[in-house]
Structure 1
Amino acid sequence: MTAYGAFLHKGSFCRSYFNLLDLLVVIVSLISFGINSSRIAVVKILRVLRVLRPLRAINRAKGLKHVVQCVFVAIRTIGNIMIVTTLLQFIFACVGVQLFKGKLYSCTDRAKHTREDCKGHFIVYKDGDVHQPMMRSRVWQNNDFMFDDILSGMLTLFTVSTFEGWPALLHRAIDSHSENVGPIYNYRVEISVFFVIYIIIIAFFMMNIFVGFVIVTFQEQGEQEYKNCELDKNQRQCVEYALKARPIRRYIPKNPYQYRVWYVVNSTVFEYLMFALIMLNTLCLAMQV
């Protein structure tokens, strides 16, 4: 800060976000070390913030700084994609509420299929042992992931987009019947189209657009470093390839017998023969029961 100045002129210390992060980490460390009492809640929070110390390495490494800058630029430029994805998520959640609201309930006693019958107690066996019966109350409970409201529907669909545990929800939705009625096996198989369309549009299409946009942003930020260069991208790649090119060294045995073996092993016919043998071996392994 003494060398570059505080913040009044261009290029000063505090005009860089990375320097501000570095300054924040140093101040937090000094305050946490200066106050020894651990009973104050603020001090506890400051000590937790000491985990930011490894972030100081970003300001020291040019490559890490470039990556972080690209991430922030990408976040600012992908706002429209995030808005479209959120709107699609909201639309699918509304459709899910219309299809599954109040229909994912079930009774803890699988023998009862309606809410009116889900009363009283039933017998269960501890660890499947018929000699250890237990009495439990029947409870009409909802599924862990449901579509009873928009927020719950969006959370459920977000879980589906992560591909974690969504087959269980799919089967539960297929078995759904109506409100106050428990699941019936494969009652609505056609409802699976809803989840398939959602996965194709959100999990595949929109997520790939999101990732692709981040990659394009990284490439554009990389091109900014060469905006004053007279060479285009292809010319720069040719120059870099020529500078990094190294001659390939091949070992050729001097012994005549070794040379014959080496010549056969490195021939094209031998490579095709090995490839055919590998394919035959794979076919034999596939035919084994």
Structure 2
Amino acid sequence: TPPNASRGMSRSLGSIPTHPAGSAAHPDRPLPIQWRNPSAGSFDDIGSAMKLLYIMSTVDDWQYLMFRLMDSTHPEHAPQRRDSSPSALFCISWMLVGSFFALNLFVGVVVDNFTRVKGEVDGSATMTLEQQQWLHTMLAVRRQQPVRVLRRPSSPVRRALFRVVTSHSFEIFILTTVVLNV
């Protein structure tokens, strides 16, 4: 094997070059084996491996990548068809985890955009005209503070008690009594 021959999954796509038909040049000596990386990539370097893992997580032709990975054996060894079932388990588990991760990213983006649109200008971006009117009415009602007008009693005794009970010092006295009682 040449010193710069590819390793891992890419070995499964190797080919044994043969002499052209009718060639008399060294018919008894085989040509050297040279393994080529697949066009989709290989696990030879981190960039190519990340690309393959991304392709598998998008569920785009992941089974072909799995079969190629299953065909690979050890470095410096020829591939064997469907040799490695742990490779298949890795591919299937990665595909499931990766596709759920991609789905969660998609859902997260949709929810984030919906929240952003909903939050724009008092959240009325997703409401009908009637809903907006109802919301504005409820907000106006909430802003209104009820005005409580207390009428002074007509009886002199009740009027004196009314002044005591509505005074600020009486509120502090009651609050202190409640706090000390607890």
TM-score by length of 1: 0.34
Contact persistence 1:160–1:199 (CA under 8 A): yes
Offset at residue 164 of structure 1 (A):
3.3
Q: Which has the larger radius of gyration?
A: 2
Is 1:153 matched with 2:49?
yes
Q: Which runs of 5+ in 2 are unaligned?
A: 1-5, 24-29, 132-182
Report if the CA contact (8 A) 2:7-2:44 is conserved. yes
Deviation at 1:177? 1.5
Unaligned ranges ≥5, structure 1 = 1-100, 110-120, 125-132, 241-289
- Return the match for 1:216 from 111, 117, 120: 111
Question: Distance between the aligned counterparts of 1:157 and 1:219, measured in 2?
Answer: 30
Distance 1:228 1:141 in 2: 60
* Mapped partners of 2:51, 2:93: distance in 1: 17
Contact 1:103 1:182 in 2 (8 A): no
- Number of residue-to-residue matches in the alignment: 115
When residues 198 and 238 of structure 1 are mapped into structure 2, their CA distance, relative to the original with a 3 A threshold, is farther
Post-superposition offset of 1:209 = 1.2
Shift of residue 167, structure 1, vs aligned partner: 2.2
Provide closer, same or farther for how the CA distance between residues 201 and 134 of structure 1 changes in structure 2, counting only shifts above 3 A: farther
For 1:1-289, what aligned pairs fall within 5 Å after superposition? 102-104=7-9, 105-106=11-12, 107-109=14-16, 122-123=18-19, 133=21, 137-144=31-38, 145-202=41-98, 204-227=99-122, 236=127, 239=130
* Structure 1 residue 218: Cα displacement: 1.8
| Greater length-normalized contact order (CA 8 Å, ≥ 6 residues apart) | 2
Aligned CA distance change for structure 1 residues 228 and 237 (closer, same or farther; 3 Å)? closer
Distance 1:228 1:147 in 2: 49
CA drift of 1:163 comes to 3.1
Contact 1:103 1:181 in 2 (8 A): no
Distance 1:200 1:221 in 2: 30
**CA 1:180 to 1:134, structure 2 compared with 1: closer, same or farther past 3 Å?**
farther
Q: Distance in 1 between matches of 2:31 and 2:69?
A: 25
The alignment's C-alpha RMSD in Å is 3.0
Instruction: Provide the C-alpha distance between the structure 1 equivalents of 2:8 and 2:123, rounded to a whole number of angstroms.
Output: 63
Q: TM-score, normalised by structure 2?
A: 0.52
In the alignment, the residues of structure 2 paired with residue 142 and residue 215 of structure 1 have an alpha-carbon distance, to the nearest angstrom, of: 41
1:179: how far off?
A: 0.9
Q: 2-side partners of 1:150 and 1:163: how far apart?
A: 20
Tell me how far apart the structure 1 counterparts of residues 66 and 123 of structure 2 sit (CA, whole Å).
55
Provide the rounded CA distance (Å) in 2 between the counterparts of 1:172 and 1:197. Answer: 16
